[in-house]
A and B are shown apart, each in its own frame.
Chain A
Amino acid sequence: MSELIKKVTQLLNDKTVDVFIGYGKGSADRIRAIFVRSAEQTEKLVLNSACTQNLAGYILKQEVKHLGKIGVLANVAALRSMLQLASEFQVKDGEVLALFANPDGTLTEFIDFHSIEVFLTTTDTGITSDEQERIAQLEALTVSERWNFWNKEFEKCIKCYACRAACPMCYCHRCTTDVNQPQWIPVASHERGNLDYHLMRAMHLAGRCVNCGECASACPMDIPLNLLTYQLISPIKTGFGATAGMKADAVYALSTYKPDDKENFII
């Protein structure tokens, strides 16, 4: 903790970064993102097990960018978000400085994408066993049982778009949902609108999702949205050998192909 404060103070003092995005104390027992812009503000930094939010989403926010060079306290998901964003030409190498807090309290500083790539090769980036189990449970159901499950979940959706706003990969200036010539996804949060929206979002995140879980934790109606995209991680990995957010120069799995891609359903 003191390590972090010391480091961020130094980064701000020698102007390596102008703003450092870290965690601070929030309401009640919550943790929130804070934007540290001076050495005095570093006192507000907090680091504990509740610090799970993927802060990489903020590095693309217009008003944060205006503050100057960004440093960010990145967890594994945030590091992967950065690489994925890099592969989609949203961040340039060296543009954002990332600090990673090791379990032993030390800090690892990443100033370029290469070091993140190397670091991630020895890091567990998979989804949790709990999440795996939930997916397995759903997969064990019949198709119509799954339809009913999702129907019930989507019924709760109020289309507040918190999932989209919280997702570091949902950075489009105009989301497909908001494209209205023609209006492809119904804006209404009725069954059809919700089904369309969530399937569209899952499909657009297939091969890009870095399993940070922000969508599900942002959802005020507690819809397990992350399962939709998590479920696609494994077929994309086994089928095409691709995992999102591991290489800064990766080619998006769904914008490329291999002549011998395996399938068993095309006649």
Chain B
Amino acid sequence: MEQQNIYQPYLMEIEKITEEAPMVKTFRLKFTNEEEGNNFSFRTGQFGEYSVFGEGEVTFCVASPHTRKGYIECTFREAGRVTTELASLNEGDTIGFRGPYGNIFPIDDWKGKNLLFIAGGIALPPMRSVIWSCLDQRDQFKDISILYGARSVADLVYKQELEEWKERPDVNLVTTVDPGGETPTWKGDVGFVPTILDRMKPVSENTIAIVCGPPVMIKFTFPVLEKYGFSDDQVFTTLENRMKCGLGKCGRCNVGKVFVCKDGPVFSRTQLKDLPDEY
């Protein structure tokens, strides 16, 4: 049936709140209407519009993998109007969710390849969905490496999962913090993500690199990948622009001829090079 009101969100109950880092929280959300929940499905890479009633909507990627049903998770940093309000909510409170929107990471095309995930700071959440999706079907992929950096040890998110990945023999996890952000007990690397990546000497052959992070990190990471022979088709990222509708209508996330919400948020570097520098 044709949807009457495309701007009407599902109501979601906050099932569980996890404090990830200062100002960063993860919500596990379940549908208040069970039937809606059962009919709901999404693919890795997609995002949604989360509403706090009275404040408005905010855009995040779905941080849980599509292979796990029955709930969705989102991780956010308290920054603007809606996220501040969101952060003040408690378990059991109701929020709205519209989605899933946008395109997906072409995971199926990556089968049989090595994967290199490079994330910085609060950009791990959109990546986490992909990582778990791949780990949930681990036998389909060859080597999986994750390079994750944050400003300081406290700013690393998903600390428990990082431990878990570290323990796994089939994952090569490298964590790093910016110089000065380390603690006396810190066992990981110290240095900026591009520097550490350079030290890792990534092998480009049969490898896909997925990069996500703040604009500066991306700016300095791409040249390193280039140096090791990654072609533009081997590099993927997910963009973020200001959005309102999520459906390619409100005009906000327009970059060149694409809408990040509708044609993105996942872009290969080849596609990215086609776009004007307006993100």
A-side interface residues toward B, CB under 8 Å? 180-181, 183
CB B7 to nearest CB in A, in angstroms, measures 15
Closest 5 CB pairs of A and B: A180-B81, A181-B81, A181-B84, A183-B81, A181-B80
Set of chain B residues within 8 Å of A183, measured between Cβ atoms: 81
Q: How far is the CA of A180 from the CA of B84 in the complex (A)?
A: 12
Of residues 63 to 114 in B, which have CB atoms within 8 Å of A's CB atoms?
A: 80-81, 84
CB A182 to nearest CB in B, in angstroms, measures 8
Set of chain A residues within 8 Å of B81, measured between Cβ atoms: 180-181, 183
Set of chain B residues within 8 Å of A180, measured between Cβ atoms: 81
Pairs across A and B, CB under 8 Å, 5 listed: A180-B81, A181-B80, A181-B81, A181-B84, A183-B81
CB B85 to nearest CB in A, in angstroms, measures 9
Chain A's interface: helix, strand, loop or mixed, by majority? strand
Set of chain A residues within 8 Å of B84, measured between Cβ atoms: 181
CB B177 to nearest CB in A, in angstroms, measures 30
Set of chain A residues within 8 Å of B80, measured between Cβ atoms: 181
CB A141 to nearest CB in B, in angstroms, measures 38
Q: Which residue of B lies closest to A181 (CB)?
A: B81
Interface mask (B29-68 → A, CB under 8 Å = 1, otherwise 0): 0000000000000000000000000000000000000000
B-side interface residues toward A, CB under 8 Å? 80-81, 84
CB A178 to nearest CB in B, in angstroms, measures 11
CB A181 to nearest CB in B, in angstroms, measures 5
Q: Which residue of B lies closest to A179 (CB)?
A: B81
Q: How far is the CA of A183 from the CA of B84 in the complex (A)?
A: 13
Q: How far is the CA of A180 from the CA of B55 in the complex (A)?
A: 9
CB A74 to nearest CB in B, in angstroms, measures 36
Q: How far is the CA of A180 from the CA of B81 in the complex (A)?
A: 7
Q: Which residue of A lies closest to B84 (CB)?
A: A181
CB B271 to nearest CB in A, in angstroms, measures 31
Q: Which residue of A lies closest to B85 (CB)?
A: A181
Q: How far is the CA of A181 from the CA of B81 in the complex (A)?
A: 6
Q: How far is the CA of A180 from the CA of B52 in the complex (A)?
A: 14
Set of chain B residues within 8 Å of A181, measured between Cβ atoms: 80-81, 84
Q: How far is the CA of A183 from the CA of B54 in the complex (A)?
A: 10
Q: How far is the CA of A183 from the CA of B80 in the complex (A)?
A: 12
Q: How far is the CA of A183 from the CA of B82 in the complex (A)?
A: 11
CB A22 to nearest CB in B, in angstroms, measures 33
Q: How far is the CA of A181 from the CA of B79 in the complex (A)?
A: 11
Q: How far is the CA of A71 from the CA of B208 in the complex (A)?
A: 56
Q: How far is the CA of A181 from the CA of B56 in the complex (A)?
A: 12
Q: How far is the CA of A176 from the CA of B84 in the complex (A)?
A: 19
CB A184 to nearest CB in B, in angstroms, measures 12
Q: How far is the CA of A11 from the CA of B81 in the complex (A)?
A: 49
CB A264 to nearest CB in B, in angstroms, measures 41
Q: Which residue of B lies closest to A182 (CB)?
A: B81
CB B52 to nearest CB in A, in angstroms, measures 12
Q: How far is the CA of A183 from the CA of B81 in the complex (A)?
A: 9
Q: How far is the CA of A45 from the CA of B50 in the complex (A)?
A: 54
CB B242 to nearest CB in A, in angstroms, measures 13
Q: Which residue of B lies closest to A180 (CB)?
A: B81
Q: How far is the CA of A181 from the CA of B84 in the complex (A)?
A: 9
CB A196 to nearest CB in B, in angstroms, measures 17
CB B251 to nearest CB in A, in angstroms, measures 16
CB B165 to nearest CB in A, in angstroms, measures 37
Q: How far is the CA of A181 from the CA of B80 in the complex (A)?
A: 8
Q: How far is the CA of A180 from the CA of B79 in the complex (A)?
A: 12
CB B89 to nearest CB in A, in angstroms, measures 16
Q: How far is the CA of A180 from the CA of B80 in the complex (A)?
A: 9
Q: How far is the CA of A183 from the CA of B56 in the complex (A)?
A: 11
Q: How far is the CA of A183 from the CA of B55 in the complex (A)?
A: 8
CB B51 to nearest CB in A, in angstroms, measures 14
Q: How far is the CA of A97 from the CA of B147 in the complex (A)?
A: 56
CB B209 to nearest CB in A, in angstroms, measures 37
CB A183 to nearest CB in B, in angstroms, measures 8
Q: How far is the CA of A2 from the CA of B183 in the complex (A)?
A: 72
